[in-house]
């Protein structure tokens, strides 16, 4: 944007170290002269986009460049007379943005939209003209970028700006690709602006755009943006890091010799691989210096090994770990378990005989392309490659693509994207319910700070079968991701088949079954906010607590004493011990019933307690040297048993449970109801059964009571 344009030469001369090795830079003065000469004949490509054409053909040899020529002609003619703050013709800005994307391997449609991305906003060109000349797809992207750019970047406008940017990204990730390249070029040319404006733009870039570049996998843009922001916001640390790199440049670098040793090892193993020394960028050097203190020569770079097939990656890993001493703690397999941003590689490190430690990245060439360019390398995610090529060819031949007039009228209309990552879907979902811009802004930054994603599976078999969550998410987050506001009534969960609290953290691959209350008055506790990590959960909980202040207070009241109900009758068990005149008691810890296998032990006073043989107290009795006594059951069928029932709290639950017990012809000897914890209630019933064989039917009847989700023996 022209508002952020400054003198590019001053920036590059001030900090030449920030230039990425091997990356072509535009000569803006030469481009400016070429642009002022106007368009060339229809037969040849304008000199001003020669760099773009060369970079594009490197990734797409068969690309039709005629549509780029027409886009440049329209952009140059519409921007003619407009100048950047540096004094360069304005056309140099869309040219530079387009070259950045071309170097990343963007497809022709993206480059066409990039050349035109400022025309609708800053010139007399209309969306209808763009649609008629270049088709609906280019129109859609240009309109998306235009709507994002139309909003002022003042402090108060930032939340709404990025809300629209987020929605535009969800509808077509190419909109964000162009925005990121646009910001990178503006950051490169930021040097002569007022320091306070530099700092403001750098902070927004750091807080939102760099995390978005990381999420979209565009590492090439992310690393350069990090270095540019680092130089502006932390000038002292930047100068210190620059001095470290300059001092290292004058010393002998051990990595080239290590790389040659690796080449020899792989050549002898018959593995065709390209071994490169990859210098660390400024922020990476700064981070590793803080982590390790004094840096050695091998700390200023890493080895990058590129191979042809996935299997070769593991072959390289085996050779490295065989021929060198591996550093086991540094091994990470992002091929078997890719990162949430499409990144795939093997990371390892090994020590050489002279004490140097080399960090290594192993990946295929396709993985390398995706690691550098992320979603840009995927082309058009909304159509097959054949359809994209056909549409481009048709647009080039006729100057128009068939489609409805409404195709790009609203770029925020939902489009089906099967490749949309889970984190982006989550952001799109919760941004609609963010109550105010400040909440949206703070929660967005917290969400983007997450650098890990997990996938959990639904136990109920519903659709979708999986739920994507940020690392560290709890069952509370899973509940709101699955049920939305209905999760207010969640009372517990089973994780991998075991009952657990809602505050339990989830791990990648867990199976989750969420338990919901049927009581409409149920609501979340204020404590849930401490364990909720996703914006959707935090916003929903906060809104409910604000709307129900009395309900929130009720959850923090002091715990009540357990309610106990005792029947009029006592009664003994029907176990008989082989000890004359001994009093026999059934142990309350396991309440054995016929035909359980049992064991008896003599305790103080000469009484015999009877336990199930699986009871933990049996081992304890034997370790204490208690006398063991043989025990058998009488022929009578009646017995006493203690059952535990777990449920959510609701009115009349105790009455419904005791009614279900009575219908089975069972007498309640005693009952204890513990105070609710996280809306869950635990009941303990000591029951006298007329026949032990009726126990399974009794437990089923109790489980059928609404709200009861588990019944077990004590």
Among 122, 172, 182, 226, the one annotated catalytic:
122
β-strand 511-516 against 453-458: which pairing, if any? parallel
Q: How far apart are CA 206 and CA 212, in angstroms?
A: 10
Closest Cα to residue 589, out of 714, 502, 462?
Answer: 714
Q: How far apart are CA 94 and CA 637, in angstroms?
A: 89
Q: Which residues contact 432 (CB under 8 A, 6 or more apart)?
A: none
17 tagged catalytic? no
H or E element that contains 454: strand 453-458
122 tagged catalytic? yes
Among 64, 121, 160, 710, the one annotated catalytic:
121
Closest Cα to residue 75, out of 128, 30, 116?
Answer: 116
In angstroms, the Cα distances linking 513 to 283, 471, 482 are 43, 19, 10
Q: Give the torsion through C-alpha atoms of 176, 180, 183, 185, to 10 deg.
A: -130
Q: Is 644 helix (H, G, I), strand (E, B) or coil?
A: strand
DSSP string, 174-190: HHHHHHHHHHHHHHHT-
Structure tokens given for 663: 């219908």
DSSP string, 307-327: ESSHHHHHHHHHHHHHHSEE-
- Alpha-carbon Rg for the chain, nearest whole angstrom, is 34
In angstroms, the Cα distances linking 34 to 30, 48, 92, 169, 224 are 6, 6, 10, 33, 28
DSSP string, 586-598: E-TTT---TT--E
Structure tokens given for 680: 């869950």
Strand partners, 560: none
In angstroms, the Cα distances linking 494 to 164, 500, 502, 522, 649 are 38, 6, 9, 19, 18
State the catalytic residues.
Answer: 121-122
């Amino acid at each position: 944007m022209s508002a952020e344009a400054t003198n590019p030469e001053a920036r590059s001369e001030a900090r030449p170290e920030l230039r990425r090795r091997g990356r072509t830079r535009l000569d803006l003065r030469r481009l400016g002269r070429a642009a002022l000469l106007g368009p060339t004949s229809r037969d040849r490509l304008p000199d001003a986009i020669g760099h773009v054409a060369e970079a594009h053909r490197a990734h797409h040899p068969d690309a039709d460049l005629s549509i780029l020529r027409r886009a440049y002609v329209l952009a140059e003619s519409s921007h003619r007379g407009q100048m950047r703050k540096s004094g360069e013709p304005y056309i140099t800005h869309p040219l530079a943005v387009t070259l950045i994307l071309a170097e990343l391997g963007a497809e022709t449609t993206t480059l066409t939209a990039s050349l035109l991305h400022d025309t609708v906003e800053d010139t007399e060109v209309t969306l209808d003209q763009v649609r008629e000349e270049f088709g609906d797809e280019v129109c859609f992207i240009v309109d998306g970028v235009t709507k994002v750019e139309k909003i002022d970047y003042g402090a108060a406008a930032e939340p709404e700006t990025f809300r629209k940017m987020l929605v535009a990204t969800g509808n077509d990730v190419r909109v964000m690709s162009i925005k990121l390249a646009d910001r990178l070029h503006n950051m490169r040319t930021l040097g002569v602006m007022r320091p306070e404006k530099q700092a403001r733009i750098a902070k927004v870039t750091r807080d939102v755009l760099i995390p978005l570049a990381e999420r979209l996998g565009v590492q090439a843009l992310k690393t350069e943006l990090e270095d540019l922001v680092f130089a502006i916001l932390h000038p002292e640390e930047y100068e210190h890091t620059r001095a470290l790199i300059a001092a290292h440049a004058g010393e002998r670098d051990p990595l080239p010799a290590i790389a040659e040793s690796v080449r020899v090892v792989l050549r002898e193993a018959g593995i065709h691989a390209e071994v490169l020394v990859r210098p660390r960028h400024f922020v990476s050097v700064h981070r590793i210096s803080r982590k390790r203190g004094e840096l050695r020569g091998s700390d200023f770079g890493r080895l990058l090994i590129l191979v042809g097939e996935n299997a070769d990656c593991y072959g390289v890993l085996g050779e490295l770990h065989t021929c060198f001493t591996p550093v086991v703690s540094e091994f990470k397999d992002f091929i078997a378990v890719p990162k949430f941003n499409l990144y795939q590689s093997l990371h390892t490190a090994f020590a050489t005989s002279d004490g140097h430690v080399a960090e290594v990245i192993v990946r295929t060439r396709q993985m390398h392309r995706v690691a550098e360019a992320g979603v840009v390398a995927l082309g058009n995610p909304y159509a097959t490659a054949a359809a994209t090529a056909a549409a481009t060819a048709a647009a080039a031949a006729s100057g128009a693509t068939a489609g409805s007039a409404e195709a790009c009228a609203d770029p925020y209309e939902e489009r089906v994207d099967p490749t949309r990552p889970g984190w982006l879907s989550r952001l799109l979902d919760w941004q609609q319910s963010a109550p105010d811009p400040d909440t949206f802004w703070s929660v967005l930054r917290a969400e983007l700070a997450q650098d890990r994603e997990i996938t959990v599976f639904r136990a109920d078999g519903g659709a979708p079968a999986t739920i994507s969550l940020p690392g560290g998410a709890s069952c509370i987050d899973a509940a709101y991701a699955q049920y939305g506001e209905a999760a207010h009534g969640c009372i517990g969960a089973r994780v991998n088949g075991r009952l657990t609290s809602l505050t339990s953290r989830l791990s990648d691959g867990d199976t989750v079954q969420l338990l919901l209350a049927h009581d409409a008055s149920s609501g979340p506790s204020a404590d849930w906010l401490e364990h909720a990590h996703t914006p959707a959960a935090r916003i929903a909980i906060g809104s409910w607590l604000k709307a129900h202040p009395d309900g929130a207070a009720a959850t923090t009241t002091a715990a009540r004493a357990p309610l106990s109900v005792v029947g009029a009758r006592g009664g003994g068990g029907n176990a008989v011990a082989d000890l004359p005149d001994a009093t026999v008691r059934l142990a309350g810890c396991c309440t054995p019933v016929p035909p359980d296998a049992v064991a008896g032990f003599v305790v103080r006073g000469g009484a015999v307690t009877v336990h199930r043989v699986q009871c933990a107290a049996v081992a304890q009795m034997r370790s204490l040297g208690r006398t063991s006594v043989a025990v058998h059951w009488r022929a009578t069928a009646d017995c006493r048993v203690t059952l535990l029932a777990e449920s959510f709290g609701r009115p009349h639950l105790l009455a419904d449970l005791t009614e279900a017990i009575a219908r089975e012809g069972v007498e309640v000897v005693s009952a204890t109801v513990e105070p609710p914890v996280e809306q869950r209630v635990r009941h303990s019933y000591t029951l006298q059964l007329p026949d032990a064989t009726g126990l399974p039917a009794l437990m089923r009847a109790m489980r059928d009571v609404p709200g009861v989700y588990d019944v077990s023996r004590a």
